[in-house]
Amino acid sequence: MTFEQIKQSAGEHIMGTYARYDACIESGSGAVCKDVNGKEYIDFTSGIGVNSLGFADPEWVKAVSEQAGKLAHISNLYYTAPGVALAKALCERTGYSRVFFGNSGAEANEGAIKTARKYSFDKYGEGRADIVTLVNSFHGRTVTTLAATGQEVFHNYFFPFTEGFQHVPAGDFAALQLAAGPSVCAVMLEFVQGEGGVIPLDEGYVKQVADFCKERDILLIADEVQTGVGRTGKFLASEHFGVTPDITTLAKGLGGGLPIGAFLVGEKLKEVMGPSSHGTTFGMNPIVCAGANVVMGRTANEQFLREVTMKGEKIRACLTCCPEVAGTTGLGLMIGIQLKGKKSGDVAKACLEKGLLVLTAKEKVRLLPPLTITDEELSRGLQILWEVLNS
């Protein structure tokens, strides 16, 4: 099929929920992929922060294909070794006590919300189920995680949304204190708001919130679906802020390209979700977990994480010299580029033309390159980005 035929068939058969770029990607290796016409692109997106080891990482491919040949699935009614190994690796690396595996970020957040509400219900009874989240946050597309998302554009059409979510402006501790009354069981936040525009929270604010929550037995839920698993140069972004949330959710980068979500809890919550309280058919899939174990092995390594930080610094240093760039935001290899005059969507399209994939987040150009991107791939991509920004 030609590109035009693929595009037409997609239009005729796939729901129109996504505005796609004019490219059909067929294969990739490292941080370079190819479309069906053989055109090459440097990848500064990792999907959307998913392909943390790039395309077709040999160790990841080997683990996934071997597991596919051995056992693809057998339900959570039995033990399987890849998932158990992943759970151990995650708990050991993060200090958390228990993990639950689902299949996406939204599902991880749903699990976290259920856990927070059940903890509070078990201990305090009814009427303490509200969750405070931040304005401009993004927590997913299910009816409950849309309700959690602090952006009015998402609160449309699908009424009624799940009750019990309040949104307060990020960075405004007084507003959070005011909202977090006796009906509140948890505060949920992203350390760097991703979809909202790559906006890190203030460290002092995060510490204040964490202390406040601890005093009141309000659970702190960190949505690290985008920031987790090495993306920011630490294994968890919480390490930058010196706080230990009660619950951390992960997804995007954890599987290295296959669908996975996870939520992790500490000692205090480890018994909250007992038999039948939660579940999901595809969770802890052995193939997915085999891939995630390779991602864990590589990213939970201090030298690897230092390199992530250095690559991020290299990109920032390059962009800061660019006349069209008003500034950069984010942490590690999660980068927002504030533009002076150009529109982020136009920049993304022009980059695609010239062989570079980038993302946007609101008015910013957003970069989430594979954590394993090489210096040479970085330089090639930056050259294209620079040309587009200065044209």
| Chain positions contacting ligand PLP, by CB under 6 A | 104-106, 109, 138-140, 190, 194-195, 223, 225-226, 251-252
Q: Which residue is nearest to ligand PLP (CB)?
A: 105
The total number of residues shown for the chain amounts to 391
Q: CB of 135: closest distance to ligand PLP in angstroms?
A: 14
Q: How far apart are CB 94 and ligand PLP at their closest, in Å?
A: 17
CB of residue 175 vs ligand PLP: minimum separation in angstroms?
Answer: 21
Minimum separation from the CB atom of position 49 to ligand PLP (A): 7
3-state secondary structure of 42: strand
CB of 189 or CB of 272, closer to ligand PLP: 189
**H helices present in 217-337, as ranges:** 238-241, 286-299, 302-320
Structure-block tokens of residue 318: 């390059």
Query: Phi first, then psi: what are they for 384, rounded to 5°?
Result: -65, -45
Whether 137 and 190 have beta carbons less than 8 Å apart is answered as yes
Residue 243 three-state SS: coil
Judged by CB, which is closer to ligand PLP: 228, or 286? Answer: 228
Q: Which residue has the tokens 């759970």?
A: 87
Grouping H, G, I as helix, E, B as strand and the rest as coil, residue 339 is strand
Tell me the C-alpha to C-alpha distance, in Å, between residue 368 and each of 54, 105, 378: 11, 17, 12
Closest to ligand PLP by CB, 140 or 245 = 140
**Minimum CB distance to ligand PLP smaller for 225 or for 287:** 225
Backbone angles phi, psi at 231, to 5 degrees: -55, -40
Please state whether the peptide bond connecting residue 160 to the residue before it is cis, i.e. omega within 30 degrees of 0.
Answer: yes
Beta carbon of residue 329, minimum distance to ligand PLP (angstroms, whole number): 15
CB-nearer residue toward ligand PLP: 223 or 246 = 223
Distance in Å, CB of 163 to ligand PLP, minimum: 20
Smallest distance from ligand PLP to CB 106, Å: 3
In the complex, the smallest distance separating the C-beta of residue 198 from ligand PLP, rounded to whole angstroms, is: 11
| Interaxial angle between packed helices 286-299 and 302-320, expressed in degrees from 0 to 180 and rounded to the nearest 10 | 70
**CB contact at 8 A, 43 and 380:** no
Neighbours of 301 (CB within 10 A): 14
Nearer to ligand PLP, 254 or 384 (CB): 254
Which one, 32 or 209, has the nearer CB to ligand PLP?
209
CA-to-CA distance for 92 and 25, rounded, in angstroms?
37
Q: Which is nearer to ligand PLP, 106 or 296 (CB)?
A: 106
Q: How far apart are CA 226 and CA 333, in angstroms?
A: 11
